[in-house]
Amino acid sequence: MTLGLLLAVLPLSPALTVSNLKNGDAYPCPVALVRGESSAPRVVVANAEFDDENGLNDGPVFDGRYSVLIPLRSGANRLTVTAGHASKRLTVRFDPPSTPYRVVPVYVTANDGDTRYASPKPDDDFDFRARIGTAALLMQVLTAERLYEMGLGRKCFALDLDGRGRPIVRVQKLEEPASALRPRDGGDLWGFLYGILDKVYSFDRYKAMTVMAFTSYDGATQKAQAHTALGGGGLGLFGGAAMWSWPRNLREVDDVFLDGTVIDPTRALDDSAYRSTVWGLASTTMGAVLHEMGHTFGLPHVDDPNDLMSRGFDRFNRFFVAFEPNRKGRQDAKVHPLSEAAYWNPYYAAQLAAHPWFQPRGVAEAKGDLTVKRENGVIKVSSPSGLAFVGYETGDPVKRYKVETLPVSGDVVLDVAGMFRDLGEPEKVTLRVIDRAGRMETVADIKR
């Protein structure tokens, strides 16, 4: 047999690339996303630092693209990416953050301490820690990768981890019974819990990503109680009636986001942006939690369909799995490009990259004062500690914005007339400033 004929009959090894990671890269959170292209149907990623199934995960390939989540241990992690007979090896380093600024997942119960959540599953294990913890990890990964894509480096908020590298989910038991808590509206619950959790966790160093265990759902009336989505200051608050749809671990993420099971509204809350499927419910509600946490980081709503601070949070799933199954009543299953997945726009990404909660080693020493002064048609922004972000916006929701500068050591002088020209001559402008000591200043309603 000639060499040419031999090559013609031998099976070709599937092509395999890793597009988002390079050998020796540092990763800021305890789970990494491995993304790339392959001609194989599935891609497997193994972390040699684990000696159990937790160090192995795989994912489907859609339209030649794959995304696989893999946990990391502190230090160097030796990863092997395999597709058929093709494989690639790389080392990724995870150094746990030392910053005092943390996001703390909190599960709030009524005075009976009942941690069960509303669920239509007769065999639900009610493992709230696994579901909330996995959701928090996904939020970290999405944020780190989206900032990296913007050229800002990988950054994410920090979580406290247990000895096995899993997020610690704390339980806060209230003194009130569920019967007294459920009838209260969202704003009332948010204010009530803010006062309690601020005393426990001190919101000058913590932001509480909070889910309520006592959220209820009545299938007969198809109404929920204590189901809300609100965020600001140190508290992001969300109802727990959809938590049954969330993945319990990284291996379940694809299964959840590809689950086209139709939700029966007589048995379960359908908060899925009218998609009425398990994948839609999981995507919208986990995305909404990240949206509310965005408010705690000072981000307002924005006029951008893919942004997390708009309804882009419905598209949380598309960041992890390119394929969307059918939705109730519609046969529109399709593959979506990454450009149609949830993201942080350049303006918000730059703010998060400068935000004190996103600095893995903490912030710089505060020197002098952060000042913003307007005089003779200019605004002078100054901080002896150095400036990390200066930008301005207009609209409610935000319609136009500009990142004026990223980290600088000197002052920034803004021409007011130029700011208005940049934003299309609006009636008013909002200026946002963050210095390297983590101090933030917002000047709203600036007029010509």
In a domain, 422, yes or no: yes
Chain segment 269-282, per-residue pLDDT in tens: 999 999 999 999 99
Domain final residue, candidates 94, 120, 155: 94
Q: Is the pLDDT of residue 13 over 80?
A: no
Q: Is residue 5 part of a domain?
A: no
Is residue 115 located within the same domain as residue 223? yes
Whether residues 107 and 54 share a domain: the answer is no
DSSP state of 62: B
pLDDT digits (tens, 9 = 90+) for 52-72: 999 999 999 999 999 999 999
Task: Give the pLDDT score at 328.
Answer: 85
Residues 6+ apart with CB under 8 A from 418: none
Distance between CA atoms of residues 198 and 205, nearest Å: 10
Which CATH number does the domain housing residue 391 bear? 2.60.40
Same domain, 299 and 417: no
Contact call for residues 275 and 311 (beta carbons, < 8 A): no
DSSP 170-205: EEEE-SS-HHHHTTS-HHHHHHHHHHHHHHHH-TTT
Residue pair 99/359 in contact (Cβ under 8 Å)? The answer is: yes
| pLDDT tops 80 at residue 3 | no
- The CATH number linked to 201 is 3.40.390
Q: Are residues 251 and 338 in the same domain?
A: yes
239-260 pLDDT, tens digit per residue, is: 999 999 999 999 999 999 999 9
- Residue 304 in any domain: the answer is yes
Q: Which residue is listed with tokens 């994948």?
A: 279
Domain range for 295: 102-350
Between 1 and 392, the higher pLDDT residue:
392
Domain assignment present for 3: no
Judgement on whether residues 270 and 164 belong to the same structural domain of the protein = yes
Residue 25 lies in a domain: yes
- Two tokens, residue 220: 């007969």
How many domains is the chain partitioned into structurally? 3
Contacts of 50 (CB under 8 A, 6+ apart): 56, 71, 73
Q: Are residues 87 and 106 in the same domain?
A: no
Whether 368 shows a pLDDT value over 80: the answer reads yes
Structure tokens at 147: 């900032």
State the CATH number of the domain containing residue 17: 2.60.40.10
Nearest to 417 by CA among 377, 374, 362: 377
What's the chain's average pLDDT?
A: 95
Residue 1 has pLDDT above 60, yes or no: no
Q: Is the pLDDT of residue 2 over 50?
A: no
Residues 142, 165: Cα–Cα separation, whole Å: 18
pLDDT of residue 332: 84
Determine how β-strand 206-212 pairs with β-strand 102-109: parallel
Position 126 pLDDT exceeds 60: yes
What pLDDT, on a 0 to 100 scale, did the predictor assign at position 21?
A: 98
Residue 357 within any structural domain of the chain:
no
Q: Quick check: is 2 in a domain?
A: no
> Which token pair is 262?
């139709």
Please provide the DSSP assignment of 7-28 as one string: HHHSPPPPPEEE-S--TT-EES
In the predicted structure, residue 149 carries a pLDDT above the cut 90: yes
pLDDT band of 442, cuts 50, 70, 90? very high
CA distances from 398 to 299, 313, 382, 393 (A): 10, 16, 25, 7
Count of other CB atoms within 10 angstroms of residue 199: 9
Q: Which two tokens stand for residue 32?
A: 């990494």
Task: Provide the pLDDT for residue 329.
Answer: 81
- Check whether residue 80 and residue 196 sit in a common domain: no
Please tell me the predicted confidence (pLDDT) of residue 223: 96
Q: Do 253 and 156 reside in the same domain of the chain?
A: yes
Q: Are residues 72 and 143 in the same domain?
A: no
14 — pLDDT class (breaks 50, 70, 90): low
Q: Which of 294, 316, 350 is the C-terminal boundary of a domain?
A: 350
Q: What is the pLDDT of residues 301-349, one digit of tens each?
A: 999 999 999 999 999 999 999 999 998 888 889 999 999 999 999 999 9
Q: Is the pLDDT of residue 22 over 90?
A: yes
Instruction: Judge whether 114 and 171 are in contact, CB under 8 Å.
Output: no
Last residue of a domain, one of 72, 94, 116: 94
Asked if 108 and 84 sit in the same domain, the reply is no
Q: Determine the Cα angle at 156 with ends 252 and 407, to 5°.
A: 155
Residue 174 shares a structural domain with residue 256: yes
CA distance 261 to 214: 25
| CA distance linking residue 314 with residue 305, whole number of Å | 10
In a domain, 355, yes or no: no
- My answer on whether 299 and 433 are in the same domain is no
pLDDT for 406: 84
Report how far residue 360's alpha carbon sits from residue 156's, in angstroms, rounded to the nearest whole number.
8
